[in-house]
């Protein structure tokens, strides 16, 4: 994937936390949604890592990804159970000790009151965050998220429950990141019937090399003995409208070239 801007500031990584994903019990869709959201506001997602509910494994992933990425989103591990260790891992990765955060505790008490539930030690644990963390309100569940504004990387830790994660991306993370946004992206796709990917590989390859500013991709598929190729182009521009126009124009010229090459 090419980008208008290559520096670390615009590079993002996602860390998905949870043994249930690594043993194949639960299909992770969070990283897919977060990747799309970040891409469309101009970030280049460089890597997605899925790790166990272990302080060391999470901290290692976050620490390594901080070297190269301006934004890290983690999902999972913020709940009340014994294997929810994300706050501890973020503390470990950033070197910032844990505190019982009053602002997070207030958020938890308010949400529990809304839901008619009581504060106990398991729930109180969700307010123990790195001391400099900004708690992110959870409009759906109880556990607050964690925002860490480190010198060159912002870390946002969100819950693993998809509805909670999405609500917190929409209400907190995206508005905050969009303020700094210089690039918008849009994509356009077209399906070519009775074409095989290998037959158009050369044309698509040379087109991609001529347009490093766009992300060009062919997706092959076979159905009922007939082969299809879906051609997609993602383009970047200063506004969403310009990006859409650019993606459509580039796609049209790619489709023309491919069809001429296959006459």
d(CA 207, CA 187) in angstroms, rounded, equals: 16
d(CA 59, CA 54) in angstroms, rounded, equals: 8
d(CA 130, CA 145) in angstroms, rounded, equals: 12
- C-beta of 131 vs 201, nearer to a copy of itself: 201
Contact 36, 179 (CB under 8 A): no
DSSP state at residue 97: P
Rounded least distance, CB 173 to a copy of itself, Å:
15
- C-beta of 81 vs 239, nearer to a copy of itself: 81
Rounded least distance, CB 172 to a copy of itself, Å:
19
Residue linked to tokens 């607050």: 144
Rounded least distance, CB 177 to a copy of itself, Å:
15
- C-beta of 22 vs 134, nearer to a copy of itself: 22
Q: At what angle do helices 240-261 and 197-210 cross, to 10 degrees?
A: 130
For residue 142, give every residue at least 6 positions away whose Cβ sits within 8 Å of its Cβ, in sequence order, or none. Answer: 108, 111, 112, 115, 117, 123, 126
Q: List residues near a copy of itself by CB under 8 A.
A: 1, 16, 19-29, 31-40, 45-52, 57, 61, 79-83, 117, 120, 122-123, 142, 161, 187, 196-198, 201-202, 204-205, 208-209, 215, 217-220, 232, 234
- C-beta of 64 vs 242, nearer to a copy of itself: 64
Rounded least distance, CB 244 to a copy of itself, Å:
16
Rounded least distance, CB 22 to a copy of itself, Å:
4
């Amino acid at each position: 994937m090419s980008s208008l801007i290559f520096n670390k500031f615009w590079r993002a990584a996602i860390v998905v936390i949870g043994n249930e994903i690594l043993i194949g019990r639960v299909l992770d869709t969070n990283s897919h949604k977060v990747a799309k959201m970040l891409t469309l506001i101009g970030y280049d997602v460089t890597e997605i890592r899925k790790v166990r509910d272990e302080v060391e494994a999470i901290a290692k992933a976050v620490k390594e990804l901080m070297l190269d990425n301006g934004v890290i989103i983690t999902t999972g591990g913020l709940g009340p159970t014994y294997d929810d260790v994300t706050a501890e891992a973020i503390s470990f990765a950033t070197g910032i000790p844990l505190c019982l955060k009053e602002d997070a505790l207030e958020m938890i008490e308010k949400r529990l009151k809304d839901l008619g539930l009581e504060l106990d030690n398991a729930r109180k644990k969700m307010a123990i965050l790195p001391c400099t963390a900004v708690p992110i309100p959870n409009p759906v569940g109880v556990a607050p998220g964690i925002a860490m504004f480190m010198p060159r990387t912002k870390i946002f830790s969100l819950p693993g429950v998809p509805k909670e994660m999405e609500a917190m991306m929409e209400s907190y993370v995206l508005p905050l990141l969009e303020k700094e946004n210089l690039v918008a992206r849009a994509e356009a796709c077209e399906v070519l019937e009775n074409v095989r990917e290998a037959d158009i590989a050369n044309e698509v390859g040379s087109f991609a090399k001529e347009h490093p500013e766009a992300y060009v991709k062919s997706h092959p598929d076979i159905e009922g003995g007939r082969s299809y190729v879906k051609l997609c182009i993602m383009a970047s521009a200063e506004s969403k409208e310009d990006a859409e126009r650019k993606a459509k124009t580039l796609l049209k010229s790619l489709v023309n070239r491919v069809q001429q090459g296959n006459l």
